[in-house]
Amino acid sequence: MTEAEAAEELERLAREIARHNRLYHDQDAPEITDAEYDALVRRNAELERQFPRLVREDSPSKQVGASPSGALAKVRHAVPMLSLDNAFSDEDVADFLGRVRRFLNLPQDEGIALTAEPKIDGLSCSLRYEKGRLVLAATRGDGTTGEDVTANARTIAEIPQSLPPGAPDVFEVRGEVYMSKAAFAALNARQEETGGKIFANPRNAAAGSLRQKDPAVTAARPLCFLAHGWGEVSGLPGGTQAEVVDVIRGWGFPVSDDFRRFADMASLLAHYRGIEAKRADLPFDIDGVVYKVDRLDWQRRLGAIGKAPRWALAHKFPAERAQTTLTAIDIQVGRTGKLTPVARLEPVTVGGVVVTNATLHNKDEIERLGARVGDRVVLQRAGDVIPQIVEVLTRDEDRPPFVFPDHCPQCGSEAVAEEGEVDIRCTGGLICPAQRFERLRHFVSRGALDIEGLGEKTIAEFTALDWLKEPADIFRLHRHRDELIGREGWQAKSVDALLTAIEAKRQPDAARLLFGLGIRHVGIVTARDLMKCFGTLPRLREAAVAAHAGDADALAELTSVSGIGPAVVAALGDFFHEPHNIEAWDDLLAEVQPPEYVVETRQSPVTGKTLVFTGSLETLSRDEAKAQAEALGAKVAGSVSAKTDLVIAGPGAGSKLKKAAELGVEVIDEAAWNALVAAAG
């Protein structure tokens, strides 16, 4: 771009943004979405960065406070906001305790005290106090980054504005913002009268009320708060969950009346049953009971795996059930080509929600249930999970059994099951419109590249025009600018807003980009773990290709990433084996340049090094040792090779120790390892 072009665009942006500010603030009549507005502001900032000489007197970037973007600002959590693993039975709870015991290497007779409290169906919120004053309230978002809702949270009466003297300098209280059942019903009644938005359940109502641009709207909604934990803190007023929660309660935060501490599993489960029994009578929705290991030193050692702590568990209540009639079975084609049968049902209310569809998962499930169109079935709905058919009640043998298609209903390609797999998939790849559309939709979705303005409708329009076939095409849409402006529903303004939003993603986060490709088994958590280990996408690809070709070192490197098992390795290998995927990948990486993925880890002598643990460890389990090493930025490998930097050997170490000696790799014992971990803080 030339300087003259940049000057022209900056002038246009200054005018546009000023106009949208007026529309939004003075006239309450915005013409563009918050995301489109943000894209304009970002484009302005980007141009000013490239051409600092061109920053205008009337630049939107200079108007402090004049451009509250409409959208809520994003905030990065100092400590990630995690989610919880679920348990659905007493056995699951026993397994959880077993895992904790093994990880901590505790003797069988050592008790593990747990706290228990209801799992509130609201949205989590982190309240940050500095020097005793509330300075930030943030929603959970994706766990790493949430939205700034400080002004709104200040309007919630149950949230203290300050902490008493003596509280730590920095303290983030975390808990649930929720709406009572009664307030929800009253709100919906009012909304109905005034023609406002009707909320599906109290949780949606709470979320919609907290995530408001105008705090006055939040203030008018009766929101409540229950504290259940904390985030970043400069000091902890106790050594156990129960002690700290007590202090938080003493500071004036509401804490559940059903918060208890138990030393044994029987009384824990009795408490669960007690809460379950009074669930319907509680003034707010709950969907289970949360257990937490009481001792905080144990919590710290247990740490987290993926996005959930090893020291906490959500014991869910059993799903609610209802009966209805199966009216049809449709086949949907997902973005990975999976053919999923969907049951169409006569509408029925389950757990307060009207259900008309249920998943039937796959061909085997239909056969297992023996489901036929016209059957009377039992439907189950558990929390947010898609409703399921659990049982067929009447069986009319006269009705024909369902025949699962052997061709894709979308593109007519053959549909087959991979070896050893139950799922049937369309083999049409990117020629299949269902997959093309779904893949692109996933690619731009919020968890992936998050390109605002490129919604389902737009993708459908562009794929129909053949402008979009693969992700890289998104970054070439600007070639169709003039043509697009002429189309119905598009004006120069909306086209440019979209193109600006796309341009803003030329340096995407590598993990989101990887996740966006929709490789099987590579969810966002796995994508992040992989990027943490490999840093750049080309390095990851090199390892995946080498592992696929049978290179043992590459395989070891991949599987040393925590949470990466054979299924992920195979999926990555398969992905890079398919010529079309490689083409699409190369094409994409010619359009976008993700910066190297940097992870904040504690610096230590082993940061960036590859370690091998061998022999038996006495104070640590293998999992804990591995988690410690990863927290220090080291990689843990399973075997000693030329790439190994350090071996930690316990008693009984054999061939690996020998190999280390041969290769001249440094060897230390467990005590030295513990000292190293302690020294790193």
| Binding residues vs ligand IVH (CB under 6 A) | 82-84, 117, 119-120, 124, 140, 176, 228-229, 290, 309, 312, 314
**CB 322 to ligand IVH: min, Å:** 25
Nearer residue to ligand IVH within complex by CB, 236 or 331: 236
Q: Which phi-psi region, left, alpha or beta, contains residue 45 (left: φ > 0; alpha: ψ -120 to 50)? A: alpha
**CB 188 to ligand IVH: min, Å:** 22
Output the residue with the shortest Cβ distance to ligand IVH: 124
Whole-number Å distance between alpha carbons of 665 and 178: 56
**CB 100 to ligand IVH: min, Å:** 14
**Residue 177 dihedral angles phi and psi, to the nearest 5°:** -95, 130
Nearer residue to ligand IVH within complex by CB, 10 or 125: 125
Whole-number Å distance between alpha carbons of 670 and 105: 15
> Catalytic residue at 119?
yes
614 three-state secondary structure: strand
Please report where in the chains the tokens 């949208």 appear, as a residue: 20
Contacting residues for 666 by C-beta, under 8 A, at least 6 apart: 645, 646, 647, 660
**Residue 662 dihedral angles phi and psi, to the nearest 5°:** -60, -40
* Cβ–Cβ under 8 Å, residues 661 and 624: no
**CB 296 to ligand IVH: min, Å:** 13
Closest CA to 97 of 323, 240, 294, 388: 294
What number of CA atoms fall less than 13 Å from residue 292's CA on the CB side? 28
**CB 9 to ligand IVH: min, Å:** 42
**CB 260 to ligand IVH: min, Å:** 12
Nearer residue to ligand IVH within complex by CB, 127 or 312: 312
**Residue 556 dihedral angles phi and psi, to the nearest 5°:** -65, -40
**CB 259 to ligand IVH: min, Å:** 8
Closest CA to 207 of 117, 125, 86: 125
Closest CA to 668 of 627, 630, 629: 629
**Residue 301 dihedral angles phi and psi, to the nearest 5°:** -65, -40
Nearer residue to ligand IVH within complex by CB, 246 or 591: 246
Whole-number Å distance between alpha carbons of 285 and 290: 14
**Residue 292 dihedral angles phi and psi, to the nearest 5°:** -135, 140
**Which amino acid is located at 245 in the chain?**
V
Residue of 62, 119, 469, 658 with catalytic role: 119
Contacting residues for 299 by C-beta, under 8 A, at least 6 apart: 241, 292, 293, 309, 311
Nearer residue to ligand IVH within complex by CB, 292 or 635: 292
List residues with catalytic annotation. 119
